[in-house]
Chains A and B, each alone.
Chain A
Amino acid sequence: MTNNDKSFNREKNFASAVLYVHNSQQWIGSFLKTVISVMEDNFEYSEIICVNDHSDDGSVGEIKKCAETAEKTSITVVNLSYFHGLEAAMNAGMDLTIGDFVFEFDRTVPDFSEDMIMKVYRRCLEGYDIVSASPDRNDRFTSRMFYAVFDRFSDVSYDMTTESFRILSRRVINRIRSMNKSVPYRKAVYANCGLKTDNIRYDIVGGSGYRRDRKEAKYRSGLAMDVLILFTDMGYRFGKAMTLFMMFMSVFMLVYSVVIYLLKHPVAGWTTTILFLSVSFLGLFGILTIIIKYLQLLVNLVFKRKNYSFESIEKLTGH
């Protein structure tokens, strides 16, 4: 408590920060230092949880070295047993947090300026349960494609984009916990949670030269496909469209084969073969549509357990 002015201004809310660490020896040191100083300067009480996703470089050593510089904040490392990928790792960290507000840092590469962290926090206090920060630049082509498809085929209002970190209130964390048995993709779950969210864009400062390692890149492309299947009705809509098209084709073939039979006298058996094929494909696509619908219902039951999710309750008349 050397600087009294500073400590008076500290937030009384308890803040937690979860950091995803996977082979980021090069970055984690300076990044953790930044987070420590932001936490200690701005919050009376805070904790930092580093989720080490099976790093095989010196990341953990860097964390330990940095942790010694912390004065008040509590620093914990969760070491995962094998490579889990960002989503499961962050869930592990999230389950350990005790703060009223929780920061999630998906990347340890700080391409934003320090004051962004508090900016996001203050926006959260304005009444947004989730506030995310995104770099102000064009996403990579693959990311753009993914978000475009996601937004097109899901019915949530949350405008998904690349995010480097976000803050969540305890209220939204509790709601997510009661809504979902597991959280395969946080952003989609956050988008579905039904509380007010906001996004802040920031100018990129530094952070160049960052490369995802192979494991992470592979994980991300796999995740993208899973997410589209799980959280959008893309599969169902595609299936339905295909069925309709194929049904139309089958009907056309039916008519076509009858016409040919009457006019051109084709080789024996041709008409029956085509008739049979058309009818069976018609049926097959019908069955497939039903199966896809079934699977989608199951997915919804697992990942969206609550029947409804509300943003707030307003009482308009009082006594």
Chain B
Amino acid sequence: MIIVVNCGILDSYLSGNTGGEQLQIMERFDRIIIGAGLYGLYSALYSLKKGLNVLLLESDSGPFKRATYINQARVHQGYHYPRSLSTAIRSAGYFERFNRDYDFCINREFEQIYATSSQYSWTDGEQFREFCKAAGIPCKELSPGNYFKPGMCDGAFLTREYTYDAGILKDYFLDKLKEYDGSFKVKYGAVITGTDRSDDSYIIRESDGSEYSSSFVLNASYAGINQVLKLAGADGFDIKYELCEIILCEVNDVLKDTGFTVMDGPFFSIMPFGKTGYHSLTSVTFTPHSTSYERLPVFDCQNGSGGFCTRERLGNCNDCPAKPETAFPYMSSLAGKYLLDDYRFTYRGSLFSMKPILLSSEIDDSRPTVIRVLSESPTFVSVLSGKINTVYDLDEVLDSDQ
């Protein structure tokens, strides 16, 4: 059986069936990193700077094709966690650092307005203000009536929150990685078929017959994390999977320089999407199209994907022939119920991606990034985080193996 991890595009599995017949010399690396999202590229660059040689394996045809690109592109400063002060404070710390380090891809040129809904919110305006004060993050109270229909929101706040542009960030990392031509190898369309452990290293086998070994493997494949772990013969994280849709919208001039987030309940967000000129539209109830509670992702749409996506190998939802119909009518009705009619937006397109979410028993509020060490020397580490600017949580992992 061929097991493909972190899913491949078409050419990756057409080339897949050669088994181990080709005889190849096993290449050895100081570190092997699985997954070319932000966490993967960051780790690669970090390791290269230490003088290590690195192999990066990615099943898509290029980096940043999934969650790093397909999300709200929010650089969190903690506003999202009005019921977890510790998480908020931690996010706020990373916020400054991320904006400094990746300044070139940050869009600051808009007003981000957070609002609390009058009904069904877990937090009201008063509580949100108190929370911001306690977390030390800026928030200026506005009049809800200037933005929202009468009676819909009981608080509106001008906040300091930015959005990053994944495209620009990707180019930056690719440029930087080029400088390490001799010690860095990246393989796109990689299909991992197995993982073995020897005394001092892990051996990763690929479907084209290549074999690589290293004493340090980092599993940064996000939604594919449990699938990679299974190949290593390990238990997965307790996660559920959500098939999510981010909608890109063209907006009118009134909405152009404004982002709205009605928070903490079944609400929505519409905010600039990096520097693309589009706004992303998402909602708590309609962004997730379907959910799987299995250790490995099982979805009805996989049956319609013609082998593109399976329980063992997640396809890129955005390229999938069986991706769901857009929920734009639902999300736009929800946003339209709240926002004044002056704010207009029209549908441009949808981006789909798979989102793993730690089940509540696993969530440690003070640390939204979960790092799990399967073994030490040889080292196999898996990292799972839902936020872009907590990428710095990786530093301790990447420094550990010296």
The residues of A with any CB-CB pair to B shorter than 8 Å are 14, 44-45, 47, 74, 76, 95-96, 98-100, 170, 174, 177-178
Contacts and interface: CB of A to CB of B under 8 A. Distances in A.
Contact of B150 (A14, A100, A174): A174
> For the side of the interface on B, what is the size category?
10 to 19
A14 B329 contact: yes
Contact of B286 (A14, A74, A96, A177): A74
Contacts of A95: 119-120
Contacts of A177: 150-152
Given A14-B329, A177-B150, A178-B150, A98 B119 contact: no
B342 to A, nearest CB: 15
B191 to A, nearest CB: 35
Interface string B323-354: 00000011001101100000000000000000
Nearest to B338: A98
Interface in B198-244: none
B140 interface: no
B120 A47 contact: no
B285 A45 contact: no
B119 A174 contact: no
Given A14-B329, A44-B329, A98-B334, 8 more contacts: A14-B330, A14-B333, A45-B333, A47-B330, A74-B286, A96-B266, A98-B330, A174-B150
B117 to A, nearest CB: 9
Interface in B42-67: none
A99 B329 CA distance: 10
A99 B332 CA distance: 10
A81 to B, nearest CB: 13
B367 interface: no
A98 B337 contact: yes
Contacts of B372: none
B333 A76 contact: no
B97 interface: no
B176 interface: no
B330 A74 contact: yes
A45 B330 contact: yes
A96 B329 contact: no
Nearest to A177: B151
Contacts of B337: 98, 170
A294 to B, nearest CB: 27
A96 B152 CA distance: 11
A177 B152 CA distance: 9
Given A96-B120, A98-B337, A76 B285 contact: yes
A98 B151 contact: no
B192 to A, nearest CB: 36
B149 interface: yes
B120 A98 contact: no
B247 to A, nearest CB: 14
B334 A178 contact: no
Most interface-central of A14, A45, A47, A98 (chain B CB within 10 A): A98
Contacts of B336: 98
A94 B151 CA distance: 14
26 contacts: A14-B329, A14-B330, A14-B333, A44-B329, A45-B329, A45-B330, A45-B333, A47-B330, A74-B285, A74-B286, A76-B285, A95-B119, A95-B120, A96-B120, A96-B266, A98-B330, A98-B334, A98-B336, A98-B337, A99-B333, A170-B337, A174-B149, A174-B150, A177-B150, A177-B152, A178-B151
Nearest to A180: B151
A174 B330 CA distance: 19
Contacts of A98: 330, 333-334, 336-337
Nearest to B328: A45
Nearest to B150: A178
A98 B120 CA distance: 13
A100 B341 CA distance: 14
Nearest to A175: B150
A95 B330 CA distance: 15
A77 B193 CA distance: 43
A178 B152 CA distance: 10
A137 to B, nearest CB: 36
Interface string B147-167: 001111000000000000000
Most interface-central of A44, A47, A100 (chain B CB within 10 A): A47
